[in-house]
Chain A
Amino acid sequence: MDLAPDAGQAGRRWAARLAAVSIWLLPLLAIDPTTYLVLTVAGLAMGMLLFLTAAGLTVIFGLMDVLNLAHGAFFAWGAYAGFAVLNALNGLGWVETGTLGQGILSVLLALLAALAIGGVLGLFLERVIIQRVYGDHLKQILITMGASMVLAEVIKVLWSPNNQTVLVPLSFTGSYDIMDVVINKFRVVAIVVGLAVYAGVMAVMQKTKLGIIIRAGVENREVVQTLGYNINRIFTGVFMAGAALAAVGGSMWGIFREQITPAMGDENLIFALIVVIIGGMGSVTGSFLGACMVGLAFNYVAYLVPKLALGANILIMVVILFIKPWGLMGREQ
């Protein structure tokens, strides 16, 4: 008798999951299957790149209780850093005319540059500005908004306010054609990198001591502090890591789109915020799911009604806020 309700609950949960998955098959009614597959791959690739930004945002919020609106700026800075490196390497003839090895190496160098610049900017922002406003949400939001504006403006000063075209190695452009399903090569790279980062973050969080400390910090900061861990140093480290991830995401986005603008940070921040709200503040897995949802929905709707693509994502956010005000994986505080 007392097993029955449990079984019923589990059944309901599976039914809900099945329904959640099958919603994503709905666009098939309006899109033919080949296009649908192409869009799905594009959506997943976009989701993975969004996840790179959202992961940092959500962990920073969960651990440090800081809503970092300057996170989008790291994304843009990463893109510009990658762009600058690729431009410089093109001077050596590595990018547009180089061999496969040179192409791969130059992309790796671009990503590394983005990683470095993200980390440095994150360190600077956390130490100089955010540390002064811990515990005050209002000031945090105001000040990170200002920081985001300043960082975007500095991009305009250093490069230009206009769009820039990113040079991409030949080996990364073009696409595979599997039974009429055209798959852009770089999308595959994006999906692989995104999955790897997700696996890496989860492994660090679940298996390492650092992960245990971070998870404990999300639960209760003071207790971690009383146990003798320097929570400030951990905050700085997590902030840097989050910023670096966002920057790598930005640089990949730049290579993927082959075009960058100073405003890309703001656009990405909007998506990342939607992802984090959907997934639940502080949850990495939630962000991963949210990012996939947002990426897929954006691509399906952009194909059907281009103007409403962002609107569809806001609609999903609204629906989720209705059903679960704390997001898919968020915990009530």
Chain B
Amino acid sequence: MTGREPTPVQMERLHQRSRRFTRPGFLIQLALLACLIAGPLVMPSFRVMDLVAKIMIFAVAVASFDIILGYTGIISFAHGMFFGLGAYSVALICHYSQPVQYHHLLLAGVLAALISTVVAVVISALSLRVKAIFFAMVTLAVAEFCHILGYQWSSLTKGEDGVSFKLPGVFSADWSGGALWGTQINGRLLVYYLILVVCALLFVGLVRFVRSPVGRVLKAIRDNEQRATALGYRVFRYRVLSTVFGSLVSSLCGALFAMWLSYVNPDTVLGTPLMLNILLMVIIGGLGTVYGGILGAAFIKIAETWLPDLQKLALSLFPKMELMHRLAERWILLFGILYILSVLFFPKGVVGTLRDQAEARRLRRLGRP
């Protein structure tokens, strides 16, 4: 290849490569990262830190779901289940090993990755063979089974009560390391930074995956399966690969989530509400954009923290109307309606729509209508 003229595509890519550190997108990412690092030191509020940590975790979980749904065109209803498998791996290992040590966390991470890989390979090998919608149905059934198992296998998972546990050493809630510039350095803060580091790495990994040759093949399969087959790509293998990769990342997110809460129960990490939240986030952020995950997760998580205030407002505005109270209590109903409306009328999400506009502007500049 060395002696040959570069093809136009290669030229374009080289051009993009040379500008990658000066693009506005890259600068925004750097600024965001700086905010996340400095945030807890500048503004020591637990409520904000809690919100930001959850947004980071869900941003990565949603982005990994986007790999499966937006880039491969497969609907997996088991994404929440993989999240839960990761969460339960950490919770159970930390709960049952006394005393907890650092290597237990590593062990839990490896276990989460292993279990989710095996389960994802089995499910996808079984159902992706036939038709992508079989996958949706099978994952729905398996996820429900896991949810029930979380409730009923109470000798292991303690059923409905959930598992609470302590993290090892400097990550434990009662560890304290003095103060730095007026901020208490404690276990929670260190877990926050651990989450930040792991999420940033996972997110970069997801972006690299999408831009890699494999990612391009996945997009090709999504857009035109027959053509991709005709070009000699083994569609089935690529689909399995993407599903497994997405599920694996999801389980690691679940592990981080469990570490942040130091507690898991079947409804918060295995139930349908979690899956619906992920779906809503990915739709609002935009399918097939990866970055949409950040926006979607931020939107929903911020809305969730505001909703109790909204309920109080509703109660004070309509003190007599029983039905209004019940409506305000059922905020999933509002999210559900929002979700249906965005699937119908806003299918590209925030990031997708913005990208379309940017693309249209670029084409106009080039003089092509």
Mask of A293-306 contacts with B, CB within 8 angstroms, 1/0:
00000000000001
Q: Is A149 an interface residue (CB 8 A)?
A: yes
Query: B residues within 8 Å of A by Cβ?
Result: 69, 73, 75, 77, 126-127, 129-134, 136-138, 140-142, 144-145, 148-149, 152-153, 272, 276, 279, 283, 323, 326-327, 330, 332-333, 336-337, 339-340, 343-344, 347
Pairwise interchain contact B141-A149, C-beta atoms closer than 8 A? no
Pairwise interchain contact B340-A143, C-beta atoms closer than 8 A? yes
Find chain B residues with CB under 8 A from A277 CB: 134, 137-138
Pairwise interchain contact B138-A317, C-beta atoms closer than 8 A? yes
Pairwise interchain contact A270-B144, C-beta atoms closer than 8 A? yes
Find chain B residues with CB under 8 A from A322 CB: 126
Find chain B residues with CB under 8 A from A133 CB: 343-344
Pairwise interchain contact A137-B344, C-beta atoms closer than 8 A? no
Residues of A in contact with B, size category = 35 or more
Given contacts A146-B343, A266-B144, A310-B145, contact A273 B137 (CB under 8 A): yes
Q: How far is the CA of A307 from the CA of B157 in the complex (A)?
A: 13
Q: Is A141 an interface residue (CB 8 A)?
A: yes
The A interface is mostly helix, strand or loop, or mixed, namely helix
Minimum CB distance partner of B340 in chain A: A146
Pairwise interchain contact A310-B148, C-beta atoms closer than 8 A? yes
Query: A residues within 8 Å of B by Cβ?
Result: 67, 69, 129, 132-133, 137-139, 141-143, 145-147, 149-150, 153-154, 156-157, 266-267, 269-270, 273-274, 276-277, 306-307, 310-311, 313-314, 317-318, 321-322, 325-326, 333
Q: How far is the CA of A145 from the CA of B335 in the complex (A)?
A: 13
Residue with the greatest number of chain B CB neighbours at <10 A, chosen from A146, A156, A325: A146
Pairwise interchain contact A138-B330, C-beta atoms closer than 8 A? no
Given contacts A157-B323, A307-B153, contact A141 B142 (CB under 8 A): no
Pairwise interchain contact A270-B140, C-beta atoms closer than 8 A? yes
Find chain B residues with CB under 8 A from A156 CB: 326, 330, 333
Find chain B residues with CB under 8 A from A267 CB: 144
Query: In the complex, how many angstroms separate the beta carbon of A328 from the nearest chain B beta carbon?
Result: 14
Find chain A residues with CB under 8 A from B73 CB: 138
Contact of B152 among A142, A307, A321 (CB under 8 A): A307
Find chain B residues with CB under 8 A from A274 CB: 141
Q: How far is the CA of A311 from the CA of B152 in the complex (A)?
A: 12
Find chain B residues with CB under 8 A from A67 CB: 133, 136-137
Minimum CB distance partner of A274 in chain B: B141
Find chain A residues with CB under 8 A from B141 CB: 270, 273-274, 310, 313-314, 317
Q: How far is the CA of A223 from the CA of B144 in the complex (A)?
A: 40
Find chain A residues with CB under 8 A from B130 CB: 321, 325-326
Q: How far is the CA of A322 from the CA of B123 in the complex (A)?
A: 12
Nearest 4 interchain pairs by C-beta: A153-B333, A150-B336, A146-B340, A149-B336
Query: In the complex, how many angstroms separate the beta carbon of B123 from the nearest chain A beta carbon?
Result: 9
A sample of 16 cross-chain residue pairs with beta-carbon separation below 8 angstroms, ordered by A number, consists of A138-B69, A143-B344, A145-B279, A146-B336, A149-B276, A149-B339, A153-B330, A153-B332, A266-B144, A269-B140, A273-B140, A273-B141, A307-B153, A314-B141, A317-B138, A326-B130
Given contacts A142-B279, A274-B141, A310-B144, contact A157 B340 (CB under 8 A): no
Find chain A residues with CB under 8 A from B132 CB: 137
Minimum CB distance partner of B122 in chain A: A318
Pairwise interchain contact A137-B336, C-beta atoms closer than 8 A? no
Given contacts A270-B141, A274-B141, contact A143 B276 (CB under 8 A): no
Query: In the complex, how many angstroms separate the beta carbon of A321 from the nearest chain B beta carbon?
Result: 5
Find chain A residues with CB under 8 A from B129 CB: 325
Find chain B residues with CB under 8 A from A138 CB: 69, 73, 75
Pairwise interchain contact A142-B75, C-beta atoms closer than 8 A? yes
Q: How far is the CA of A276 from the CA of B333 in the complex (A)?
A: 28
Minimum CB distance partner of A132 in chain B: B344
Pairwise interchain contact B136-A141, C-beta atoms closer than 8 A? yes
Query: In the complex, how many angstroms separate the beta carbon of A142 from the nearest chain B beta carbon?
Result: 5
Q: How far is the CA of A314 from the CA of B137 in the complex (A)?
A: 11
Q: How far is the CA of A154 from the CA of B334 in the complex (A)?
A: 10
Find chain B residues with CB under 8 A from A266 CB: 144, 272
Q: How far is the CA of A288 from the CA of B234 in the complex (A)?
A: 36
Minimum CB distance partner of B131 in chain A: A333
Find chain A residues with CB under 8 A from B279 CB: 142, 145-146
Minimum CB distance partner of A332 in chain B: B130
Q: How far is the CA of A314 from the CA of B144 in the complex (A)?
A: 10
Given contacts A277-B134, A322-B126, contact A141 B344 (CB under 8 A): no
Find chain A residues with CB under 8 A from B337 CB: 150
